[in-house]
Every structure is written in structure tokens, then in C-alpha cells.
A and B are shown apart, each in its own frame.
Chain A
Amino acid sequence: MAHEATHDQHDDHHHAPQGFFQRWVMSTNHKDIGTLYLIFSLTMFFIGGSFAMVIRAELFKPGLQLVQPYFFNEMTTMHALVMIFGAIMPAFVGLGNWMIPMMVGAPDMALPRMNNLSFWILPFAFALLLSTLFLPGGSQAGGWTMYPPLSLQSSSLAYTVFAIHLMGISSIMGAINIIATILNMRAPGMDLLKMPVFVWSWLITAFLLIAVMPVLAGAVTMLLTDKYFGTSFFNPHGGGDPVLYQHVFWFFGHPEVYIMILPAFGIISEVIPTFSRKPIFGYKAMVFAIASIAFLSFIVWAHHMFAVGLPMGAEIFFMYATMLIAVPTGVKVFNWVATMWGGSLSFETPMLFAIAFVILFTIGGFSGLMLALVPADFQYHDTYFVVAHFHYVLVTGAAFAIMSATYYWMPKWTGHMYNEFWGKVHFWCSVVFVNVLFFPQHFLGLAGMPRRIPDYNVAFADFNMISSIGGFLFGASQLIFLGVIVHCAFFSKKKATDRVWEGARGLEWTLSSPPPHHSFTVPPVVHDEELAHGHVND
């Protein structure tokens, strides 16, 4: 009996299944599925990015030049949905798929077939979502939050809702798999408090995903029945309330924001120690800070709704709870800086992105603190200040962390070094133009320019033009990223060593580059001094 199992395993160990279809479509291998996730995410990054280019092109000058207002609204909505559910989240799942089994000493993910299903749902879900752009009546155009009653007017609501259901199923299955892998598949000796911070961040993120994706499914199901089956959840004539949708949505939505940043924290906590040649400062504090942020994410949702007319008590509670998040986040930023302090630093591309993350994410954190203040938020709500804020945390935060992770681990994945010169060119272009793109939006917002409107007062013309120029150049810079990835995967001649980076610690670096098809068929013997956090006493 056991012989058959061994035989199956044996086959796989030496070579990947032959044939394109069998290898990629019928895969049960965490590395191949991780690669699929990352390629999908990169594709969505460029599709969502092209929508952003349309937005910035229309906003280049005041007045309506290029597109119809309805199409503009479709672009703002689809840009957000594609970037959040298509680019950022699958990128993190792809990184988790690739790295977590290698980091904890497992042969593969705990539930390999379900892993493949989690991925393959996504292309279909996004085909459904993007097809609405070509339907009569167009796509959802009331913003990615889909507030009723506006969203109920969209004639393609059913397509969007079902696409979101599919994405939710995919995320829940992916998260279950990651939790089972981390809790059940660790090599002997890989105690919970010896795991890399990236693994910890994913464990907590997976919990958040399982807790809130079903709530989103519930919220959009209520939209569906209100539009097509005559229920009254959001209709005051029947005793409902549109604000109810906002509560249910943001109960999902705020943890969702942290789903998109906690794995980024994990990545940065891997990259900075490697290039500082020092263990991370305050390992336990980093883990507890992630857990505290996750806990707080469940009790702050209504700060997205300060302007909706909440009772005073609720506004005060949500304001203070929101400000509290600055404490564990501050601990993290402090510890990243303290890790670099006194280290022997070198500035390869992953480290450059990581340092930019620490600085620029912190700017996004500070503007978040400003938005947390109820009286201030009454001014900033639905202005470009909010747009600037969340792009600092999601582009220079989440996306920069994903880029850092790509440069950091790509030599391990492909077995070849990427081109350091072009990596740095990509970094410097990105970091300069992203600030040209988003920094002026703070001023536009403070001056009162509203979000999601295709036209604006001529007073806002200069900053919008600067922002658009930054946007086009930032978009163009990402073509360099694509070039570096393609070069590294197919053309690079420079072999990567097993350890790749001088200061890298952890089980994943003990494997060859590229690693064998199944990472650890036999659980590795864990030596504490090999681990990044082998001696946790603080």
C-alpha cells in the first residue's frame, strides 16, 4: 500500500510531469502553482495599470477630452477590483505558495489538488469580471465598494457578484491550504517562534481571509437579491438601509486592507535582515505586532464611513480604535530601522525597494492617521487625499514589497541572477515617478478635489498634469520590470548560488537554485544557527 504512495512521490521528485498541459493545468506542485499565480498577477498588474493610464490621461487636463464619463467611472471601478483581487492578492498567494513549504521544511502544500483549484478559479473569475466591460450597459461603475443604491443600477451586477463569489472561494481555499501547511507541515524542530516572519505574516493573513471573504460574499449576495429577487436589505421603503451595506462591506473591507499589507510586512522583515547581515531586531515584537494589527482590523471598519452620519459614540470609538493601530505599526517601522542600525548594509535591488517601502509606507501610514481623525476626515472624505493615502500604502507599500520579493527570490526560483543594473534602473525610475504621481494628489485632496470624477476645476490643473506625467512614467517604468523578469527567467547566463545572498538565513537557502521539484521529501534536520530566528530569547 505505502509502496504505491512512495512510487508516486518518487516519480515526482526527479522531474516535473512532461507535457505543457499536464505540468501547468493539472499541477499539484506548489512551485508550479506559485509560478502560475505570479504570472497571473503580473498580467493583471498590467491590465489594471492600463486602466489607470486611461484615468490619468483623462485627468491630464481639465474638461472632458478622451473618454465618456461613464467609461471613466468603469475604469476607476475596474482598476481597483483588478488591482486588489487580481494583482496584489494573487501575488502574495503566489509568493506564499512558492516560499512557505520551502521555509518550513515541507514537501509541498498540505492540500495540493485544492491548491491548483484555488488558482484555476481566478482566470475564469476575471474573465467574467472583465467581460462586463463589453456587455450592453457596461461594467460596474459605482466604485469597487459597490455601494447601493448606485451599484444596483448597473445592468451587469450579476456578473460582477458571481465573479466576486468565485474570487472569494479561491481566496478561502488558498488560505485554508496555507494554514494547514504552516500548522501541520513544519519540519521537526521548526517551532512556531522559529518560523520566518514572512510565514507568520501569512498565517495571520490566512486567518483574516477565512474570516472576512465570506462576509463579502454575504454583502454582495444581498446586493444580488435586492436587485433580482425583490428583497429590501438596502431599501428604506421596506425597512432596510443602504448604510447597512457599508457596514457589512467594510467589516470585510478593513481586514482586506491588512490582507494586502501583512504579507508585505513579512517580506520586508526577510529582506532587511539579509542585506543588513543582522538578525531582525525584536522578532517576537514583530510577530505580536502583526497579530495586534490583525485583531484591531476587526474593530475599525466604520472609519471608512465617518461622513455617512454615524452616531457620535460610534465615531469616537472608531476614531480611537483606528489611531491605536499606529502603535503596533510604529513598532514594526522602529524594528526595521533598528535592524538596519549598525548593520553592514549593502544596497542590492531588493534592499532598495525594502528601504523605499519603509519610508513611503510610513508616509501612507501618517496620512492614514490624519484620516482617522473624525473632524479632519469630514474634510478629506472622498477627496484625492484619500486616493493619495491608499496608493502610498498599496503601491509603495504592497506593490513595492512584491517587487522587492521578486528580486529577492527570483534567483532562487530560476537558478539565475537577474540583471542588477536594470533592476536598479527599475527601482530608481519607480521610486521617483511614483512620488511625482501620488504626492501632488495630497495637495489636490486638501484643496478639495473629489475622487472618481472625470473633470475638475481649472484650479487643480497644474498638480493634475504633474500627477499624470508621473503616472505615465511610472507605468512605463514597469516595462523595465517585465524586461528584467523575462531576461532572468530565460536569458540570464549568471548562475545563482544556493544561498544567493551573503546574509540570507533560513531553510529555503539550503536548497539548490532552482530547488528540486518537491522541496523536502524527507523533513530536513533543522539547525537553529541556520535559521534567521533560531535563537529567540528577546
Chain B
Amino acid sequence: MGQQHDIYYVPSKSQWPIVAAVVMFLTVFGAAHWLNAEPGEAGFGKTVITIGAIGVLGMFFGWFHSVIKESLAGMYNPQVDTSFRMGMMWFIFSEVMFFGAFFGALFYIRAFSVPWLGGHGHGVLTHQFLYDTYSGAWGAAGGNGPLHIGGAFSTVPPWGLPLLNTLILLTSSVTVTIAHHALRGGHRGRILLFLGLTVLLGASFLFFQAHEYMEAYKELNLTLHSGVYGSTFFMLTGFHGLHVTLGTIMLAVIWLRVLKGHFSKDHHFGFEAVAWYWHFVDVVWLCLFLFVYIL
């Protein structure tokens, strides 16, 4: 805690924050314009999103480029390293709360809103006057609400692809940990092997997830429109899939950086940050497997 009396690195000026603000703005402005356009109207939304998204990629590339350069130049002392660690930890905490909102919605829907519509507890009158044939069951029997929004559907059986994906992610958490130990022990070949395996496992998770989505849409008629079951299913697994995608890209970047020899035994915050993120994504999946697929 402030024990180091050498100098805490404060960059003198940087163009990246303002670039980041502009490209983030372009992305969401384009998205808003696109969503708001009347059907058939030729808006400029998609063009602006594309420019913004390319800009976001370029910004990440440039910003990380300068950070890596500074890191390799030895400008970050242990105190700076601690700031980065705290930043990553609290960022992951904010992500936990983001998923918390959607899990909270799922629990509320399953514990209150669907049973109430089916006449349990305090919903007696709603049930009697509006939806008297609705049972308030979850899953294929009533998860799409009293008006069966989206039509009849079947749920994804948990013991097929989802179980496989669970095993894949659990294995990948083990491989990334082996790679971390190898990094601390200085075994370069072993790091590259196990980190590479982690990237492949992440990619295969995404492949199976995509396959599962296609099956759900084509054969099970389970879509984003399948009432609140479809809403919670696709929003939770979709946001998780997005995080796995980001995590896999991050792992791949770290693999390249290991290849370039950017990390040392005791100076490898970038590696650890990505490993933390990967474990976080893994834990979210375990909750999903339990609450979305099994229960």
C-alpha cells in the first residue's frame, strides 16, 4: 500500500480516450438509428454501425498497443500493477451484477409472474378473468405465457449438447490454470500448448452453442419470440455466448503475446486478467446449466 517510493507512472497525454468515446458513440448512434428506422426505410444506420464497430476494433488495437509498449518498457511498477488488478476485479464484479439482473428476472418470472398468471397466490382474479385455461407451468407446457406467444415449442434437453459444453468449459478452466502454472514455472512450450488448448475449447464451445441455437430455431421452434421462456433462454445464453466469444479472442491474443515473449514469471498481469475473466465466464455457465437447462 504505497510502500514503493519510485514513481507511479502517469501517462502525459493520450488520444485513445477521445477516439474511444467517438467510436462508441458512432456504434450506438448507428444502432439506434437502424432500430428506429421504419420498415423499408433506407437509413444510414448500418453504415454508421459498421464504421463505429471497425473504429472500436482499431481503438482497442491502438490502445492496447501503447499499453503493451509501456509495459515492455518497464514503466509499470508493482503499484501500477495493483491498480490494473483492482480495475479488472471490479470490472468482473460489474459483469456479475449485469448477469445478476437477468438471473433475477428469470427467478422472478419462474417464482412469481408465471405462477401468478396461472392463478397461484395473488393472481387469482387475473387468472379467472383473463387466462382461465392457463396452468402457469414452466418449460414447454407454458413457458411462453397464456397466449402461447411464438407457438408450441420444445425445450433443449440438458443432457446432450449443454452437458458436453459444460464439460468443455470446465476442462478449459483446468487447461488455463495449467498454462498459468507453466508461466510461473517458465515452461514456454507447456504454456503455448495448454493456452492453445483453452482457445480451441472456447471455440468448440461456441461451435456447439451455435449448433444448439440452429437446432432450437429449426427443429424445436424455440426462438427469441417463444414467450418469456424464449426471452430468458436466449438472452441469458446469448449474453454468455458473447462473453465466451470475447474471452476466446482475449485468450488468442494472449497466446500470440506468449509467442512473442511478452510475459515473465512475475510480470504477466495481462495473462492473469484474461484467466480471471475466463473463470468468471465458466462460473456463469455453471449457473446457466443449472437454472436454465436443468431446473
The 7 closest A-B pairs by CB, nearest first: A218-B101, A239-B145, A1-B74, A241-B113, A238-B227, A231-B231, A214-B98
B229 — which chain A residues lie within 8 A by C-beta? 239
User: Is residue A370 within 8 Å, beta carbon to beta carbon, of the partner chain?
Assistant: no
B124 CB to nearest chain A CB (Å): 12
Bound CA span A247–B146, Å: 22
Any chain A CB within 8 A of the CB of B196?
A: no
Q: Which of A5, A155, A165, A217 sits near B7, CB closer than 8 Å? A: A5
**Are B28 and A162 in touch, CB under 8 angstroms?**
yes
- Contact partners of B279 in chain A: CB under 8 A: none
Whether A317 sits at the interface, judged by CB under 8 Å, is no
Q: Is A291 an interface residue (CB 8 A)?
A: no
A26 near B2 with CB under 8 A, answer no
Q: Does A69 contact B (CB under 8 A)?
A: no
What 5 new A-B contacts, CB under 8 Å, besides A4-B75, A25-B18? A4-B73, A162-B32, A179-B90, A185-B2, A218-B105
Q: Which interface residue of A11, A175, A214, A228 has the most chain B CB atoms within 10 A? A: A214
Total interface residues on A, CB under 8 Å, equals 95
Is A211's beta carbon under 8 Å from chain B? yes
Determine if B132 is an interface residue (Cβ-Cβ < 8 Å).
no
Q: Of all chain B residues, which has the CB nearest A520?
A: B8
Nearest-CB distance from B241 to chain A (Å)? 15
A214 & B82 in contact (Cβ 8 Å cutoff):
no
The answer to whether the Cβ of A183 comes within 8 Å of any Cβ in the partner chain is yes
Contact B95 A116 (CB under 8 A): no
CB distance from A195 to the nearest CB of B (A): 12
> Is A346's CB within 8 Å of the partner chain B?
no
User: Does B97 reach chain A (CB closer than 8 Å)?
Assistant: yes
Residues B86 and A184 in contact, CB atoms below 8 Å apart: yes
B262 to chain A, nearest CB (A): 15
Please report whether the interface of chain B is mostly helix, strand, loop or mixed according to DSSP. helix
A220-247 near B? 1/0 per residue, CB < 8 Å: 0110111011111101111111011001
A5: B residues at CB distance < 8 A: 7, 9, 73-75
Q: Which of B38-94 contact A (CB under 8 A)?
A: 63, 73-75, 79, 82-84, 86-87, 90-91, 93-94
The answer to whether B117 touches A112, judged by C-beta atoms less than 8 angstroms apart, is: no
Total inter-chain residue pairs, C-beta < 8 Å: 269
Inter-chain contacts of B22 with A (CB < 8 A): 124
Indicate if A505 sits at the interface (CB-CB under 8 A): no
When C-beta atoms are compared, the residue in chain B nearest to A128 turns out to be B29
Chain A hits for B102, CB < 8 A: 218, 222
A215 to B103, CA, bound (A): 11
Q: Is the CB of B21 within 8 A of A120?
A: yes
- A215→B24 contact, CB < 8 A: no
Q: Which of B17, B86, B117 contacts A113 (CB 8 A)?
A: B17
> What DSSP secondary structure best describes chain A's contact surface?
helix
A121 touching B11, Cβ below 8 Å:
no
The answer to whether B17 touches A116, judged by C-beta atoms less than 8 angstroms apart, is: yes
Q: Which residues of chain A are within 8 angstroms of B9 by Cβ–Cβ distance?
A: 5, 8-9
Residues of A near B29 (CB, < 8 A) are 128, 162
Whether B28 and A210, one on each chain, are in contact in the complex, defined by CB atoms closer than 8 angstroms, is no
Cβ–Cβ contact B230 & A215, under 8 A: no
Q: Is the CB of B12 within 8 A of A8?
A: yes
Query: A241–B35 contact, CB under 8 A?
Result: no
B191 within 8 A of A: no
Q: A537 at interface (Cβ–Cβ under 8 A)? A: no
A371 to B274, CA, bound (A): 47
What residue of chain A has the Cβ atom nearest to residue B229's Cβ?
A239
CA distance A1 to B102 in the complex (A): 47
Please report which residues of chain A, range 154-203, place their CB below 8 angstroms from some CB of chain B when the two chains form the complex: 155-156, 158-159, 161-163, 165-166, 169, 172, 175-177, 179-180, 183-188, 190
Residue B187 is within 8 A (CB to CB) of chain A in the complex:
no
Given the complex, which residues of A lie within 8 Å of B14, measured CB to CB? 26, 28, 113, 116
Interface residues of B (CB under 8 A from A): 1-3, 5-18, 20-22, 24-25, 28-29, 31-32, 35-36, 63, 73-75, 79, 82-84, 86-87, 90-91, 93-95, 97-98, 100-102, 104-105, 108-109, 112-114, 116-117, 121-122, 126, 142-147, 149-150, 224-225, 227-232, 234-235
Contact B73 A1 (CB under 8 A): yes
Do the beta carbons of A128 and B25 come within 8 Å of each other?
Answer: yes
How far, in whole Å, are A187 and B8 apart by their CA atoms in the complex? 12
Q: Does A420 contact B (CB under 8 A)?
A: no
Name which of A108, A238, A311 has the most chain B CB atoms within 10 A of its CB.
A238
9 A-B pairs with C-beta separation under 8 A: A2-B7, A28-B10, A219-B101, A222-B102, A236-B146, A240-B109, A241-B113, A241-B116, A244-B105
Cβ contact within 8 Å between B17 and A239 = no
| B144 touching A124, Cβ below 8 Å | no
For chain A, residues 1 to 30, give those with C-beta under 8 angstroms from any C-beta of chain B.
Answer: 1-2, 4-6, 8-9, 11-12, 17, 22, 25-28
Chain A residues, Cβ within 8 Å of B74: 1-2, 5
Bound-complex Cα distance A226 to B145 (A): 15
Q: A121-B24, A180-B83 are in contact. Are A26 and B91 (CB under 8 A)?
A: no
Chain B residues contacting A110 (CB-CB under 8 Å) are: 83, 86-87
A238 contacts across to B, CB distance below 8 A: 144-145, 147, 149-150, 227-228, 231
Q: How far is the CA of A114 from the CA of B28 in the complex (A)?
A: 20
- Which listed residue, A159, A240, A248, touches B145 by the CB 8 Å rule? A240
CB atoms of A217 and B98 under 8 A apart: yes
Per the bound structure, the CA–CA distance linking A275 and B253 in Å amounts to: 56
Contact A311 B122 (CB under 8 A): yes
Residues of B close to A128: CB separation below 8 A: 25, 28-29, 32
The answer to whether A107 touches B8, judged by C-beta atoms less than 8 angstroms apart, is: yes
Does B10 contact A239, Cβ atoms closer than 8 Å?
A: no
- What residues on B are CB-neighbors of A153 within 8 Å? none
A117 part of interface (Cβ distance < 8 Å) = yes
